[in-house]
């Protein structure tokens, strides 16, 4: 059975199973990557204010010719908007977007109730300015707290996700609440040996594909959206190649973290535990 090309959100909308990630792409490269991706079948682009590349993403959309279609249709809304972390950053002289204190810890307001941020997201959603709302980097304890006050269930929870960080409990919790997981850093990002892992390389050889294809396919076979990042045209195209993985293959990939390979790549210094089992334990 061929893997899914789209998943259904709890709003009823369809979301492409593979999107283009733009986090940590170098300035000046995002515009070209977005334009190329849209011209080659992508319709899901992940962008963020804190990535510092929203302008380039917009330019890439314009270059692709898509903006002409949007203008012709008269649309002026976003498909999906997320709260990126369950924290409220407090801008200071270090940065307006990613402020840090002199000790290197993020400048945050720990007294802020994130349900208030979600209430405002719900208002934007109900006003029709965005077709779906969700969260990113939210653990089960934080989701449980939000659940007490939400009137709109998040459509998505975008988290770091790969065989070295499968987050099985979080996946189950989100599945049970109709929340779709999105995987960022699906190839392990910088510094993670996923691509060179022996088990993953052997699986790639057996299936006659690249290790990247195995890792991307893992998420879609698991029922999660995947956001591989690339600025190279050949990889942008190949990242949409998805294969079915056998139950045995999935069992191997799902078990790698438990074999001592567990690793989280993205762990900002917020100064306290955000509810993930491995937070600040590496």
The residues assigned a catalytic role are 51
Q: What is the C-alpha separation between 134 and 153, in angstroms, rounded?
A: 8
Joined together, the tokens standing for residue 2 give 């061929």
Q: What is the C-alpha separation between 35 and 20, in angstroms, rounded?
A: 11
Query: What is the chain's Cα-based Rg?
Result: 19
Q: What is the C-alpha separation between 53 and 26, in angstroms, rounded?
A: 9
Joined together, the tokens standing for residue 148 give 């007490």
β-pair partners for 184: 160, 227
Joined together, the tokens standing for residue 3 give 């893997």
Q: What is the C-alpha separation between 278 and 263, in angstroms, rounded?
A: 8
State the pairing for strand pair 14-16/6-8: antiparallel
């Amino acid at each position: 059975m061929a893997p899914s090309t789209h998943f259904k959100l709890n709003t009823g909308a369809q979301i492409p199973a593979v999107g283009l990630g733009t986090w940590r792409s170098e300035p000046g490269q995002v515009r070209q990557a977005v334009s190329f991706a849209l011209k080659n079948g992508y319709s899901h682009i992940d962008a963020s204010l804190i990535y510092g590349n929203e302008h380039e993403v917009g330019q890439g959309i314009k270059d692709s010719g898509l903006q002409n279609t949007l203008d012709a249709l008269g649309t002026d809304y976003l498909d999906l908007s997320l709260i990126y972390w369950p924290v409220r950053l407090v801008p200071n002289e270090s940065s307006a977007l990613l402020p840090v204190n002199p000790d290197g810890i993020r400048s945050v307001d720990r007294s802020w109730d994130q349900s208030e941020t979600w209430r405002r997201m719900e208002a934007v959603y109900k006003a029709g300015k965005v077709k779906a709302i969700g969260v990113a980097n939210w653990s089960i304890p934080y989701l449980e707290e939000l659940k007490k006050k939400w009137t709109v269930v998040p459509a998505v929870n975008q988290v770091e996700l790969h065989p070295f960080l499968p987050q099985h409990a979080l996946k189950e919790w989100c599945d049970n609440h109709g929340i779709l997981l999105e995987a960022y850093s699906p190839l392990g990002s910088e510094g993670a040996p996923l691509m060179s892992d022996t088990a993953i390389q052997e699986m790639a050889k057996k299936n006659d594909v690249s290790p990247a294809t195995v890792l991307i396919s893992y998420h879609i076979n698991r029922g999660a959206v995947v956001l591989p990042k690339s600025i190279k045209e050949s990889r942008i195209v190949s990242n949409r190649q998805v294969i079915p993985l056998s139950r045995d293959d999935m069992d191997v990939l799902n078990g790698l973290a438990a074999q001592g390979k567990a690793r989280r790549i993205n762990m900002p210094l917020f100064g306290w535990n955000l509810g993930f089992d491995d937070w600040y334990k590496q």
